[in-house]
Structure 1
Amino acid sequence: MSRIAKTTIIGLILNLGFMLSGIVTSGQPWLFWNVPSFFIIVGGTIGSFVMAFPPSQLKTVGGVMKKAFKKDEYNIEEDIAALVKLAEISRREGLLTLEDHIDQYTDDEFVKRGIMLIVDGADEEQLRNLLEGATYFMKQRHQKGAAMLDMIAATAPALGLVGTYVGLIPMLTNLDDPTSLGPNMALELVSSFYGGFIANIIFGPLAKRLKIMSKEEATRRDVLIEGIAAIQQGKNPKLIKEELYAYANLSLEEPEVYEEKEIIREREAASQL
C-alpha cells in the first residue's frame, strides 16, 4: 500500500519556499526571468531526454515521478509474523493446505507467488531462482526509472554552461558596446541558475529517493525469500522467526502489532460463519 510521502513534499516546499524567498528579497525578482535561458535549459533538457530514451520508457516518466512522491508502506514485522503463521500451518496441516490460508494472512503478491510455487511442488532451487529473478527484474525497472531523473539532473547544469557560452560569445564580441554587457551577462548567470535549480532542487533529490526506495524493497524481498524457502524446507516456525528477525536486523523484544491484527481477522472470520 502506498500513500503520499510527507517528507518529500515538505522538502520540496522548503526548497521552493526558501529559493523564492531569496529571489523576492533580492529586490529585483524580475531579473531571474530570462526567456533565452529558459529555452536553452528547459527546451534543451527535454530534447536530450527524448533523444536518450525509447518511446516505451518515455511513457513511464509520469509514473516514475508519481512514485517518487509516494511512500511504500511495509511492515517487515508483519511480513515475518505472516510467514511464521504459514509455517505453523504447513507443519500442522501440510504444504498443500497453504493455498487455503494464504489470503487470510497476507495480501502481498510476492509472498503469494512464493507460497503458490511451494504448493505447486517447486523445489528450493527453483523457488529461489524464480523469486530472485523477479527481484532482479524489479531492481532493473527501478534503475531505469531513476536513470531518467538522473539524466535530467545531469543535463540541466551542463546546459547551464551552454547558456553561459551563448551569453559570453556576444558579450566578448561587443565589448565596445557597454549597453550589451548587462543583458549578455544576465543570460550567462540566469542559465546557470536554471540548470542548478532543476538539478539540485527537483530532479536530483527525487532520483536519490527512488534509489533508496528500491534498496529498501530489495532488502525486504530478500527477507521474504528466506522465509518462504524456510517454509518449503519445513523448518521450525520459532527458528524461522529468529532467523528472519536477525536477517532483517530487528530485535525480538520489539512489540508485534501483527498479533492484534490477526486477532481482529479471526474475529471477523468467526462473525461471518
Structure 2
Amino acid sequence: MDKLTLIGFVIALFAIVGGLVMEGGSALSLLHGPAFLIVVGGTLGAVMVQTPWRQFAHAFIMLRWMLFPPAEQHKKLVTELLDWADVARQKGFLALEEALDKEKDPFTRKALIMLIDGEEPEVIRDAMDTEIILYREHMLRSAKVFESMGGYSPTIGIIGAVLGLIQAMTFLSDPNELGKGIATAFVATIYGVGFANILFLPAANKLRALIHTQVLSKELVVEGVLALAQGENPHRIEHRLLAFVPR
C-alpha cells in the first residue's frame, strides 16, 4: 500500500476541517447532500460526455494504483536480463526459450520472442518502441480523465453556488429556507475547489508519475534485449541498464 497517498489526503482534509473548527465553525456544516450531488454528479456527467466509455472505465480501474501501485521491477529486470545475457553468450539465443516459458509479462515476452527468432536490432527497436508509445498514450488518456475532473469540478461548484443563491432569493421572507440556500451556495463552492485540488488533480499527477515508472521499465527491457541482440558483454550491459534504475 502507498501510505504516502493516504497520509497526504488525510493531512489535507484535516488541515481544511481543522482550520474551520479553529475558527469556531462546525465540521458537520461541510456535510451537505445537495451540494455534493451537484458537484460530484455534474463533474462525472461532464467527463462522461467527453470520454469514450472504455477509457472512462479504465481510468477508474487505474485509480487503485493510488493506494496499490504496481511494484517497481527495475532491479529485478536488470538481474533477469543479465541472466539471459549469460545464457545467450554460452548457449545461443535458442537457449532462452526456457526463460520465455517462465516469462509472464506480455511486453517482455514479445521482445524475447523477437530476439530468439533472430530479428535485427533495428526491427526489434521499431516494434517495441511502437508498443511503448501506444501504451503510454493509452495510460495517459486514462490519467487525463482525472485532470478533466479537476478542471470541471470548480466550475460545477460555481454552478452549485448560483443555484443555491437562486434558491435563497426565493425565500427572502423565510430565514430558515434562506439559510439552506446560502449553505448550498458556499458548500458547493468548497466541494468544487476542494475535490479538484486534494483529489482529482493529485490523482492525475500521481498516475502520470506511476505511468512514467512503468514506461521506464519497458524501455529498460528494450535496451537490454537490444544489447543481447548486438552481442554486448554482460558487464557492459549491466552498466547500460543500471542507468534506468531509479535512485
Pick the TM interval, shorter chain.
Answer: 0.7 to 0.9
Structure 1, unmatched stretches of 5+, are 251-273
* Aligned position for 1:155: 152
Q: Aligned in 2, Cα 1:246/1:54: closer, same or farther, shift over 3 Å?
A: closer
Are the counterparts in 2 of residues 23 and 32 from structure 1 also a CA contact under 8 Å?
no
Aligned residue among 210, 219, 224 for 1:222 = 219
TM-score using structure 1 length = 0.78
Q: Could you tell me which amino acid in structure 2 is paired with residue 58 of structure 1?
A: F
Q: Aligned in 2, Cα 1:101/1:186: closer, same or farther, shift over 3 Å?
A: closer
In 2, the alpha carbon distance for the partners of 1:227 and 1:117 equals 13
In 2, the alpha carbon distance for the partners of 1:137 and 1:214 equals 12
In 2, the alpha carbon distance for the partners of 1:243 and 1:227 equals 8
Give me the CA root mean square deviation: 2.7
* Aligned position for 2:190: 193
Aligned residue among 39, 43, 51 for 2:41 = 43
Are the counterparts in 2 of residues 168 and 185 from structure 1 also a CA contact under 8 Å?
yes
Shift of 1:158: 1.0
* Aligned position for 2:10: 13
* Aligned position for 2:95: 97
Shift of 1:18: 3.8
In 2, the alpha carbon distance for the partners of 1:169 and 1:24 equals 28
* Count of residue pairs brought into register by the alignment: 245
Q: Could you tell me which amino acid in structure 2 is paired with residue 238 of structure 1?
A: H
Q: Aligned in 2, Cα 1:101/1:169: closer, same or farther, shift over 3 Å?
A: closer
Structure 2, unmatched stretches of 5+, are none
Q: 95-104 or 222-231, which moves further after superposition?
A: 95-104
Are the counterparts in 2 of residues 166 and 188 from structure 1 also a CA contact under 8 Å?
yes
Written as runs of structure 1 = structure 2, the 5 A alignment for 1:1-273 is 4-23=1-20, 26-102=24-100, 107-169=104-166, 179=175, 182-246=179-243, 248=245
SS state at 2:69 partner: strand
Are the counterparts in 1 of residues 75 and 245 from structure 2 also a CA contact under 8 Å?
no
In 2, the alpha carbon distance for the partners of 1:121 and 1:78 equals 25
Q: Aligned in 2, Cα 1:70/1:94: closer, same or farther, shift over 3 Å?
A: same
In 2, the alpha carbon distance for the partners of 1:23 and 1:96 equals 67
Question: For each residue in 1:237-271, what CA deviation from the matched residue of structure 2 results, as whole angstroms up to 9, or x when unmatched?
Answer: 11111222245476xxxxxxxxxxxxxxxxxxxxx
SS state at 1:71 partner: coil
In 1, the alpha carbon distance for the partners of 2:37 and 2:89 equals 66
Shift of 1:229: 0.3
Shift of 1:115: 1.3
